[in-house]
Structure 1
Amino acid sequence: MTQVILKQAKIIDASSPFHNQVMDIKIENGTITQIEKEIAATSGFEVVNIPNLHVSQGWMDSSVSFGEPGYEDRETIENGLKVAAKSGFTAVALQPNSNPTIDNQAQVRFVLDRAKNQATTLYPVGALTKGSEGTDLAELFDMKNAGAIAFGDYKKAVQNANLQKIALQYVQDFDGMVIAFCQDSSLKGIGIANEGEVSTKLGMKGIPALAEELQVARNLFLLEYTGGKLHIPTISTQGSIKLIKEAKAKGLNVTCSVAIHNLVLNDEILMGFDSRYKVLPPLREEATRKALVEAVLEGTIDCITSDHNPLDIELKKLEFDLAKDGTIGLESAFGALLTILPLEVIVNKLTGNKLVFNIDNPSIKNGNKADISLFTTEENWIFGKENILSKSKNSAFLGQKMKGKVIGIYNNGQLIMNN
């Protein structure tokens, strides 16, 4: 275990008695043992003394894909967790879109075993249906017992309403959560970009906002009928925001997330036909981007995800309509967010992922486990290829302005620094 003294760190943690104060923090054997204005250097302790150092409760990313097992050429669990640590995340929820799909307890145990002894903790999401094929429910109860935190088919909407209904009813027996990606496949058709002015100019088949909103509305109706817990990931339209806001006002147990690229970029960036910007849901027009930012600020959107999805060059560097959807996002997450949102909101939404998935989130005070993200807030820079730590390089943020930098994390008794 690394013994650490963090010098002159501004604590951003509304649940801590030291919120917004600049303090020294002493960490022994993975536990915070002292928080004072000044702590003397101690033999055997590593000292972190960086100008403008800030710390918060550890961040969580609610949607990452690592490829392993089956797609190790895209990313491995070991390297993926190291990337997450250097990107400021002490926890990640791993999507089940590997090969084989994480749809049984053996697969859940496999990925947990591969994630042992890492600074960043991995939480598996089990597939909702066998093979994520949308036909039969997977072994949900067994996966929950093996360590799965929720159940959903990554980027695949369950088109069968009755199956979605049964899933919402079934998981209540063991306090499970259903993750429902929302997209009506018949309305999406062969669409590859947001349906609007840009797609029309470019001659691209459009994906209407209605494709998402119709499924959001259906799933919220089902939730009202069944009860239980529903998480709607990566919403991207103004109609989805309105529907979820109304459902929350009714008292339904629904949460939602937004992908960072949908908050920062709009569909005008597609004018160069660069497939790095092909994502699902697609980048929307500027008015919707602004509405998503507003929904984060007002609290309708509960958490923010990088929706990190590594894809190798053979899948990405193709004609726009043939390229696979997805971008990596861990390395650029914090720097991109700080260009559009206040710091406390970012910290709240990145730590709020843990609340959504009922994961312990210790505050920064004496006696608590040290589960901490370290970062600065002032530096302006441009995200370049040298900043990519993932095996795959498919970043939609290359050339984008960033603000602030991640220093690293302290978690599970380990200090990981981004240098």
Structure 2
Amino acid sequence: MTSKYSRFDKPARAENIFLQGARVVDPRHGTDQVMNLHIRDGVLQPTTNDAPTGAEIIDLRGHWITPGWFDLHVHLREPGKEVAETIATGCMAAMNGGFTGIACMPNTNPPLDNAASVNWVRDQARPFPVDVHIIAAVTRGRAGKELVDMTEIVEAGVRAFSDDGSPVKSSAVLANAVQYANMLGARIFEHAEDTYLAEGGSMNESEWSTRLGISGMPTIAEAIDVARCVLISEFTGGAIHICHVSARESVELIREAKRKGIKITGEVCPHHLLLTDEACKTFDTNFKMNPPLRGEADRQACWDAFLDGTLEVYCTDHAPHSWEDKTQEFDVAPFGIVGLETSLSLALTHFLSKGMSLPTLLDRAVYSPREILSQPQPRVAVGEPANLTIIDPAHRWTVKPDEFKSLSHNTPYGGWELTGRARGVVHRGMALIQTF
């Protein structure tokens, strides 16, 4: 029988389904062809032209199937701020956006700074076809003073630590953290910011901040911390991942560090690739995030670095906030925007038309994030667990924030016309395939 997707509008068991006629693209493993995929009990089976007896046929002609996308930088807000997002709604937003894996940051209340809290978050995510990896806090309570019990947390399955939301201010604490993480096969993620230089700022320090009368955050506030991370990584031999890079100076530092063989990696978000600080001229707080939108030279530098692999990870920094919080005055409203449900479509609409190939995009959105977390790569091959993102590359749609699965709607992309959308995911023995 041919499914109209209705059974899979919510996650359902992938017991015996036949995905028919999609272009399957798995460049790391040499696959790019139109083919059928048969999944039984969540595992890819030998493929035939005809559906096996009893299989549910899903017509995906004109669609793409890729290995499952992964977002390396997400804030789920639970515990502590469930009015903005919960683990469940964050997972639903991830599925809706085409992600089968996400990494959540520890700046919850209380912070994720011990093995018990890590295991609790993971347990809440088990009903969903989304792997939720936890990036645990570097310091107890994210207070920047005393390191967490890294050994205990790594034994609980964590492979990265960050005090994201703020930097690790003490260079001594950061260097010790990098050394311990390196011994344990883990990595430090740094929110790169000199908070003394950025203090009181609400947007990029620029001509626009002067015009608007808004306190600015200079690009060197980010770059100074990136320089510190490069030196600490070189000194310790440990790996540091730079979160949400936004500044031209930061890009130059990361590129030079990589040239020297220093273990620095970096990520970039769609808003720092597509928008500039001019967008703040309307005082719309949906354009307020940290790091802030920068100038055109910074945006172009980030794009060039994303294209050439200096910034090897594409992520969202999904940061939900309630309507009440985000509708305050610009200098009072919190930093952050949601991104899980628009990221893939923004990439298909704006990146592939500007010189980025689909294999390169998949490297940034599928493979590199998992490499940084030391996770196995999904493979579209017989005998492998099905870990898939299903994409309709021709679907045209308008971003309507009130239709998001996320509890929060704080997006700068409301009303944008996009082409290409995630139609579903298959992972952990479950499938979600939506009807638009």
- TM (normalized to structure 1)? 0.96
Are 1:179 and 1:231, in contact at CA under 8 Å, matched by a contact in 2? yes
1:354: which partner in 2? Answer: 370
Q: How does 1:210-221 map to 2 (within 5 A)?
A: 210-221=220-231
Q: Is 2:418 aligned against 1:402?
A: yes
1:4: which partner in 2? Answer: 17
Q: Which moved more, 1:382-391 or 1:123-132?
A: 382-391
2-structure distance, mates of 1:400, 1:141: 45
**How many residues get paired?**
416
**One-letter amino acid matched to 1:5:** F
After TM superposition, give the deviation of residue 51 of structure 1 in Å: 4.0
1:13: which partner in 2? Answer: 26
Q: Aligned with 2:51: secondary structure?
A: coil
Q: How does 1:183-332 map to 2 (within 5 A)?
A: 183-332=193-342
2:36: which partner in 1? Answer: 24
**One-letter amino acid matched to 2:386:** A
Percent pairwise identity? 32
Q: Is 2:169 aligned against 1:153?
A: no
Q: Aligned with 2:102: secondary structure?
A: strand
**One-letter amino acid matched to 1:279:** M
Q: Which moved more, 1:362-371 or 1:407-416?
A: 362-371
After TM superposition, give the deviation of residue 230 of structure 1 in Å: 1.0
1-structure distance, mates of 2:408, 2:76: 10
Are 1:236 and 1:258, in contact at CA under 8 Å, matched by a contact in 2? yes
2-structure distance, mates of 1:327, 1:286: 20
- TM (normalized to structure 2)? 0.93
CA RMSD of aligned residues (A): 1.4
Q: How does 1:367-382 map to 2 (within 5 A)?
A: 367-382=383-398
2-structure distance, mates of 1:82, 1:376: 19
2-structure distance, mates of 1:16, 1:276: 39
2:360: which partner in 1? Answer: 345
After TM superposition, give the deviation of residue 303 of structure 1 in Å: 0.5
Are 2:159 and 2:185, in contact at CA under 8 Å, matched by a contact in 1? no
Q: Aligned with 1:257: secondary structure?
A: strand
Q: How does 1:174-185 map to 2 (within 5 A)?
A: 174-185=184-195
Are 1:5 and 1:41, in contact at CA under 8 Å, matched by a contact in 2? yes
Q: Which runs of 5+ in 2 are unaligned?
A: 1-12, 353-357
Q: Deviations over 1:164-189 (max 9, x none)?
A: 11111111221111111110011112
2-structure distance, mates of 1:152, 1:333: 23
After TM superposition, give the deviation of residue 8 of structure 1 in Å: 1.0
1:104: which partner in 2? Answer: 114
1-structure distance, mates of 2:115, 2:156: 6
Are 1:64 and 1:95, in contact at CA under 8 Å, matched by a contact in 2? yes
2-structure distance, mates of 1:283, 1:46: 46
1-structure distance, mates of 2:165, 2:246: 13
After TM superposition, give the deviation of residue 196 of structure 1 in Å: 1.0
Q: Is 2:102 aligned against 1:92?
A: yes
1-structure distance, mates of 2:263, 2:417: 36
Are 2:272 and 2:293, in contact at CA under 8 Å, matched by a contact in 1? yes
Q: Deviations over 1:127-162 (max 9, x none)?
A: 011111212112222111112220001121111111
After TM superposition, give the deviation of residue 386 of structure 1 in Å: 4.3
Q: Deviations over 1:42-69 (max 9, x none)?
A: 3432222134210111111001111111
Q: Is 2:67 aligned against 1:57?
A: yes
**One-letter amino acid matched to 1:367:** G
Q: Aligned with 1:370: secondary structure?
A: coil
Are 1:264 and 1:337, in contact at CA under 8 Å, matched by a contact in 2? no
1-structure distance, mates of 2:298, 2:62: 34
2-structure distance, mates of 1:149, 1:83: 24
Q: Aligned with 2:127: secondary structure?
A: coil
Q: Which runs of 5+ in 1 are unaligned?
A: none
Are 1:339 and 1:401, in contact at CA under 8 Å, matched by a contact in 2? no
After TM superposition, give the deviation of residue 216 of structure 1 in Å: 0.3
After TM superposition, give the deviation of residue 283 of structure 1 in Å: 0.6
1-structure distance, mates of 2:403, 2:299: 25
Are 1:259 and 1:304, in contact at CA under 8 Å, matched by a contact in 2? yes
After TM superposition, give the deviation of residue 225 of structure 1 in Å: 0.4
